[in-house]
Amino acid sequence: MNTTSLIVTDAQPLIDLADVDELDTLLSLAPDIRILIPDMVRHALLSHIDIPGVPDALEWIRTNDGHGVSVQCTEEFEEFIVLKRRHSDEVERHQNEQAAGEILGRELARGTEAIVLLIGDAEAEHASVLSNLPERVVPMSTSAYLQGLRSKQRQFKVGALLQRVLALGRPTAS
């Protein structure tokens, strides 16, 4: 069973792709790719509805939910809701990434063969966080994704893209 999952680690990649009208390209990467969006990321989008691109990203999620896109429930989001009710001003900053990490753990345990972590460009600069991932997990920034789209004229497959990213090597901590 050849399975590939793409986990969106933050709201920014969805906003960026919506801004350039490229969200649908995620669905065309491979016929059986699963695009997993943590509930924490969806909440972040809902919390910033006034930002350009956010309404389009939310509409894309609604339209494609169950058709290659899935919003995944996480304990991280449940804890966030409880903490927010108790201490509305004390919300941790990196909860989107923690929720994505929770989903990554489930995908690894499930035996998913290849996992792409779609991360925001700012997060991609923190190489030490991404350096100890298993070989079947490939981090990809939004700009690298868009660059891949342009260079392959939208006719690439996940396997080829994963091979290309793996060939470039993983970022290492300096």
Cα angle: 21, vertex 57, 99; to 5 degrees: 130
| pLDDT score, position 53 | 94
71: tokens are: 């919003």
Report the 10 Å Cβ neighbour count for 149.
Answer: 18
Q: Which of 126, 132, 104 is nearest to 37 (CA)?
A: 104
Q: Is the pLDDT of residue 27 over 50?
A: yes
Q: Kindly report the average pLDDT of the chain as a whole number.
A: 80
Ordered domains of the chain (ranges, CATH)? 4-168 (3.40.50)
Provide the residue count of the chain. 174
Q: What pTM did the predictor assign?
A: 0.78
28: tokens are: 């065309």
Q: What is d(CA 11, CA 128) in angstroms, rounded to the nearest whole number?
A: 21
| pLDDT score, position 62 | 96
Q: What is d(CA 21, CA 141) in angstroms, rounded to the nearest whole number?
A: 17
pLDDT in tens, 65-119: 999 999 999 999 988 888 877 765 544 557 888 888 899 999 999 998 888 888 8
